[in-house]
Structure formats: C-alpha cells, structure tokens
Amino acid sequence: MQQEPRFTEGEVTAALGGPVSYLGSGTFGDTWRYGSNAVKIICGESPPGRLQREVGGLSRVSSPYVVKLIETRTVMLRGWEWPALVFEYIPGDDVAKRIAAGRLPSVEKAEAFLRGLLTGVGHMHERVTVHRDIKPANIALRDDDWSRPVLLDLGMARGAGEATITMNGTAVGTMMYMAPEVLSGYGQRNAADLFAVGVTVREVLSGRHPFCDPRTNPTPAEMIRLIDKGPDRLPAGVPARVEQLLDRLTCSRKASRGSAASCLRLLSGKEVAA
Amino acid sequence: MTRAKSDSDSGSGLFPVALFRRPRRAARKESTRPATRSADGASVLDGTRPLFIVHKPHQYHDELPRLFERLQADVGDSVALGVSSWLPSGAATSHCEFNFACEAADVRIVDPRGYLADRQDLRVKKPSARAAQHAPYLRDEAFPVASLLEAQRECGANLLLTSGRALNPSAALRSLAEACDEGDEAMAALKQGERLALNLTMSAEWLRRSELLDDLLAELIEKRQFRIWHVRVQWAPPAKSWHQPVDEELLAGYRALAETARNEERRLLLPQTGVTGWLTLAWGAAGFGTGLFGTGQAFLEEDDDSGPRKNSTIERYFERQLLHFAERTGRSELTKDQEAYRKCTCPYCGPLLAGSAWSKKHAGLHYVHSVGMLTAGVAPAGAMPHEVHEAVAGTVRAATLFAADKRLTGQSAPAHLRTWDRVL
C-alpha cells in the first residue's frame, strides 16, 4: 500500500472546494475525507474498466456492511480531470491498522465481527457480486465497533457475466488472503470471498496471519501447501461453533465453505449437518 | 446447454402433434392437468416431509394408482408421494392418462432423460427408434428448452426438469456451467407458480473423486436460483438393483451432496436409488425414487448388448426388517424366529406368499409399499435433521442385529448393512 498521497492536501482542498484530510492510499488512488464523505481519487495505475466495476458493484449492493457510494465525479488536479468516487465516510479505523497496533477484539466481539462480515458478504453475493479482495485493509469498523464492519474497495468486484479481471495473466486480489483455488487459477467466486473472511477473522483473533508470516513472501505454490497443512490453532476461549465455522471457511475445498447464508446459520447455532 | 441448446426456443415441429392431444379419459376432469393433493405439488417440496417417488414401470403401471392410494392411507401426511415417468417412453396422451390416474401423487415428473444422448459420458443403451420418436431431441443436437418444458407440461408434469444431459468429468467446469445455463434458460421460461428442478446426470466418478465433487458442490452452492436438485448417479459394476452399493467413497459423496443440500436449504431428489436413497434421508436428501423392478431401483451401467437382466427369474422378496431382498428359497431362515420376525401386512403379500407360483408384480408392489413405509418410519412430519439421522441409523442397526444370527448366504446376505452402519 502506498503511504504518501499523490497530491498535496492544498491541491485537493482547492480542487474539491473545502477542507480535506488525508485518509490513505491504495494501488489505484488516494482517499480523502471531505465533509461527511470520503472521496477516492483514482490516480494510480488501474486496469481497464476497474472504476466501472467498482461503481457497478456498489450500485448493485445496498447493505450497512458494504460502503455506500454517493456519487461519481471528476476532480481537476494539475490540469487533468481525474475520476473520483464519493462514498459515505466511515468514522473508525480499518482492521489492518487495528491489527498492526495490537488492538484486537475480545472473542465475543470477534464473533460479532465475523457475523457482520458474513452478512455483508451475503448481501453482496445475493446481488451476484463477488468482492474478490477482502482483507483487513479493506474493512473499516464503523465507529470503531467490531460488530459493525464495512467492506470497502469494491474495485475488484465482479458481477455475474462480467469478464474475469487479471493483471499480467495472474489472478487479481491480495495473495495472502487468496483461496487456494484462486492461487491455482480456478477463478474468484463466492467461495473465495468466504475464504478471505475466514483468514481475516483468524488473524483478528490471534493477531497473526493463520498460515504464514507474510514477510516470508511465499510463492503461490508455497501458499497452497501451507493452506493444505491447515491454519494455526486459535487462541483459547473461542467457542466451538465459531472454531468449526472458521475451519470450514479456511478449508482447501471450496464447497466445504458453503454459502454466507449457511455460515450465518451455523454461527447462530441452527441445526445443520456437521 | 451450449452443446445442445438452440438459439430459438420455438421448437416448432420438434414434437409430434399427437404429443399435445388431451387424453380421452381427461374429459371427466375440469382441468387438462391432473389434480393434486396440494395446489401445485409445490408445498411438498418445502422440506417438511420426504418425497417418495415411484418410477413408472413398463409393466403393471396400471397398478400404481391403487398402490398410491394404499400408500396414502398407510403413511398419511408424513410422506409426500411422487410419480416419475420417462418422457421418451410414451406419447403425451399416455403420460397424461397415467398422471391423471395417479391422483394421490403430490408430485409428477416426466423426465426428459437427455443423458440418453450422452453415450460418451455414461454407459447407456442407444435410444430406440420409438424413444426417439417420442423425444426427438435425443436425435438432434439442439435442445430447445422451452419446448422441452412444454412437452413435460403436456404430459401432466407439475415439477419440471431440465434436460438431464450427462456431466462430462473431463470438462467438469464447462459441463457444470452448461447445465446451469440451461437451468437459467428454463427458469426464464417457467410460467407463474411452476417449479423447476435442475436435473443432473453423472457417473459415479463425480461423487467418488474429491475434486469433481468439490466442483459440483461449489457450483450448486453458488447457483442459489436452483432450489431443487434432481441428481441421478450411475452406479458402476458390481452394483445390482437388488444389492445396495457398499462403495464407501460413493456413499461419502452422497453424504456430502445431501448434507450440502440440507445446509444450503435446497431440496435434493435422488431418482433411481432405491433403499440407498432411503439411507440418504439421514444426511439431508429431501426425496428419492424407486420402482417395482430393477430399472426404477437403481441407475446401472448398461450397453447395447444388455438383454433382460439375467437374474430376473430369481424370486426375491424384500425384507423390510433386513433392508434387503432375500431369495424366496432362503426366507425360512428369517421366518423361523417367529418372535423376532415381523410379518408384512401389506395387501400384496397375501397373494404373493399364498401359493407356490411367484408373482413378480406382487413382489414389486410389496417392495415399493415397504420402502414407502420405511420412509414414513424415519421421517415423520416436522422431524429435525438429527432425528431423521437417528431413526435411519437405528433402523440400520436393528437390521444388522436381526441379520447377525441368520445364515443368509449369496445374494440374500445383506452385505451393505455393516458398511451403512459405519458410514452413518
């Protein structure tokens, strides 16, 4: 993730016509707070159609667990018109920052976080939209509340019938959160989002990635082997049904993960097959 | 299906005119469609009670209406009843007449059996000229989905199926995608209130090989628009219709399929599975099919040289207590223990066991009635999944105990019980 904005605060303030504050940067652009909104200026290298995909994904889904798109616009900066997306501003940290700072939730709050994520993913999947890049940095906590996660950055999202996005012939997404079938070229479908939810929640519970130390930069083949070996044990105190669900979500076999809806039923303790 | 679908769904000329004629006896009905116990047969697929499907036999199908009435009286509302006939096996008038007669059946299926055109993926006989006459799509490369649905309606079906083309294991993802595309096309062609089942046919390899099973289940989970799965799996030798499969990999595949259906709140129907279909109720199947004779009891491999089944003359009696067929000559081994043996009281056993002449018809009717009773016994209305599982497991355990001290040999030995006890 790029840490420095591409434009200065003064430039963006002038372009938007009011005071702004810098929120963060990603591969494809910078995000600024502007009033009660967040404005994402698409100014990085971006695969063709990415903006349309993000807009398409967001307009299909209406959920308190998925960031709300208010409008699309352009912003004039340094003589160029840059496309921009105006979102609701989500007050609160993103999950990556919380993990990095060691500010982890209690087991109960982690369970609520899992429920919120599954609900958001379920809302996306109901609208036949796959997020394809779920990871801690793409999840905000509304009002810093673990039970109110909000999925951000639907730039990779894909609806039914849309072409698969690849860059340089490889799958798009973030490798440390990619499902094994994606790493082996199967394609990113609903089950891959659920795998990423499972990895993220395990990381939130233990404070570390469940399969490896990301600094070791494993290759996709190594990553698949690590996933096949199974995740690290969860900390003590995690309820059995949560552990069972997280085991399902991070399973190599995509069908074992089920759907977001059946995962929510399992989490609620409704009787389903073991 | 890409490989089979026509760009146009008009289908004009693809079905003979006679197919759409109203049956002569239909004049006594107000509607051109058969009556049902429930409004559209749909409520029986809500998962509250199992669906027991009886496949229409070539012989003695006139007996089925009375069998259904009897079953209805004996099982009450705890089991929904279904009847399934094969679209290529007769003209629409004949199907419709039959379906009218089976008023007690909640669900009526007229199966297109599209897999008969896929002899590269399954071991099936070449369709006869007569079958191709009734189902011209078996000759043609194009499968017009709308016409296929209309043909089923005209035959009196109230649960419509997609074509049931065979899945190709060497192009698994493409094959699954084609089946689902066909399903989407069929969904778009449904009329108000109609129900559709995604009709899949496959070799046992699909349930036995973990990667194929994973692809199959992942596709079914993702395609949430298909609420009912009608899945037919061809059993490889040495499977026999009177011997249940003991292949643990196959059974594990059935288990994964049924559990997935239950977890995802879909309805899994397993036609042509007989007592093995009954077993899958424990894991979450919503229904299964069987029949008076071999073809309805199991979907087995066959080829063009297959004649009548070699053992068809052997007199086999279905022992409900044993969950198995015992040869008539060896039944005394079971009946001699009068305290433990429970005599069947169905209306077919009287004429079947009274004289020395064996009645294949009554043996078949007794079998179907018995399996219906078994179904009612394990899945009372509103039973929780764990209760159904416990009831099936308890019945299998009781059968195992019952068989333990009996000297049953050869085909009469219930070889499947130990395996079933283990996999449950």
Report CB contact under 8 Å: A262, B265: yes
Catalytic one of A30, A93, A94, A133: A133
Measured CA to CA, the distance from residue B221 to residue B276 in angstroms comes to 24
Shared-domain flag, residues B292 and B319: no
Q: How far does Cα B64 stand from its chain's mean position?
A: 15
CB of A149 within 8 A of CB of A120? yes
Inform me whether the C-beta atom of residue A161 falls under 8 Å from chain B C-beta atoms. no
Query: What pLDDT sits at residue B77?
Result: 83
CATH number belonging to the domain at A95-267, selected among 3.40.50.720, 1.10.10.10, 1.10.510.10, 3.40.50.300? 1.10.510.10
Confidence grade of residue B147 (pLDDT, cut at 50, 70, 90):
very high
Residue of A nearest to B225 (CA): A126
List helix spans (H) across B116-263: 129-134, 145-154, 172-188, 205-208, 210-222, 248-263
Q: Where in chain A is the domain with CATH 1.10.510.10?
A: 95-267
Q: How far does Cα B248 stand from its chain's mean position?
A: 21
- Residues in chain A with pLDDT values less than 50: 1-2, 162-170, 273-274
Query: What residues contact B390, with CB distance under 8 A and at least 6 apart?
Result: none
Report CB contact under 8 Å: A259, B221: yes
CA distance A118 to chain B (A): 15
pTM (2 d.p.)? 0.88
Which A-chain residues 191-210 have CB contacts (< 8 A) with chain B?
Answer: 191
Shared-domain flag, residues B403 and B358: yes
Shared-domain flag, residues B249 and B327: no
Tokens 């303030």 sit on residue:
A13
Shared-domain flag, residues B288 and B349: no
Measured CA to CA, the distance from residue B414 to residue B398 in angstroms comes to 13
Report CB contact under 8 Å: B264, A273: no
Measured CA to CA, the distance from residue B285 to residue B282 in angstroms comes to 7
- Residue A234 DSSP label: P
CB of B133 within 8 A of CB of B59? no
CATH number, domain containing residue B191: 3.20.20
Report CB contact under 8 Å: B218, A272: no
For B103, the domain range is 32-297
Question: Between helices B64-75 and B360-378, what is the axis angle to 10°?
Answer: 30
- Residue B384 DSSP label: -
- A270 or B318, greater pLDDT: B318
Shared-domain flag, residues B350 and B225: no
Beta bridge partners of A24: A31
Asked if residue B88 belongs to a domain, the reply is: yes
Q: What is the ipTM of this complex?
A: 0.86
Inform me whether the C-beta atom of residue B283 falls under 8 Å from chain A C-beta atoms. yes
B222 interaction partners in chain A (CB closer than 8 Å): 189-191, 259
Query: What pLDDT sits at residue B25?
Result: 38
Residue A110: phi, psi to the nearest 5? -65, -35
Domain ends where: B297, B330, B352?
B297
Asked if residue B280 belongs to a domain, the reply is: yes
Instruction: Kindly report the number of other CB atoms within 10 A of residue A82's CB atom.
Output: 18
Shared-domain flag, residues B290 and B316: no
Domain ends where: B236, B266, B297?
B297
Report CB contact under 8 Å: B262, A272: yes
- Residue B78 DSSP label: S
User: If you average pLDDT over every residue of chain B, what do you get?
Assistant: 86
Q: Where in chain A is the domain with CATH 3.30.200.20?
A: 9-88
Q: For residue B11, is pLDDT > 60?
A: no
Measured CA to CA, the distance from residue A215 to residue A179 in angstroms comes to 19
Shared-domain flag, residues B234 and B329: no
| Chain segment B32-55, per-residue pLDDT in tens | 455 444 434 555 677 788 999 999
The count of residues in chain B is 424
Residue B79's Cβ-side half-sphere holds a number of Cα atoms within 13 Å equal to: 32
Measured CA to CA, the distance from residue B366 to residue B71 in angstroms comes to 11
Shared-domain flag, residues B351 and B381: yes
Domain count of the fold of chain B: 2
CA distance B298 to chain A (A): 26
Residue of B nearest to A193 (CA): B222
CB of B368 within 8 A of CB of B54? yes
Determine the CATH number of domain A9-88: 3.30.200.20
Asked if residue B302 belongs to a domain, the reply is: no
Shared-domain flag, residues B356 and B267: no
Q: For residue B312, is pLDDT > 80?
A: no
- Residue B283 DSSP label: G
Domain ends where: B297, B328, B349?
B297
Query: What residues contact A193, with CB distance under 8 A and at least 6 apart?
Result: A121, A124, A125, A130, A131, A132, A134, A260
| Chain segment B401-418, per-residue pLDDT in tens | 999 988 888 888 999 999
Cα Rg of chain A (Å, integer): 18
Structure tokens at A55: 């807009």
Mean pLDDT value across residues B370-375:
96
pLDDT over 90, % of chain B: 66
- B340 or B199, greater pLDDT: B199
CB of A140 within 8 A of CB of A90? yes
Structure tokens at B86: 């094969």
Shared-domain flag, residues B376 and B333: yes
Measured CA to CA, the distance from residue A265 to residue A245 in angstroms comes to 10
Asked if residue B74 belongs to a domain, the reply is: yes
| Chain segment B85-136, per-residue pLDDT in tens | 999 999 999 999 999 999 889 999 999 999 999 988 999 988 888 888 889 8
Report CB contact under 8 Å: A273, B259: yes
Shared-domain flag, residues B65 and B210: yes
Measured CA to CA, the distance from residue B171 to residue B176 in angstroms comes to 9
Helix (H) or strand (E) holding B202: strand B196-203
- A272 or B80, greater pLDDT: B80
Asked if residue B3 belongs to a domain, the reply is: no
B222: alpha, beta or left? (left if phi > 0; alpha if psi -120 to 50): alpha
Asked if residue B6 belongs to a domain, the reply is: no
Q: For residue B383, is pLDDT > 90?
A: no
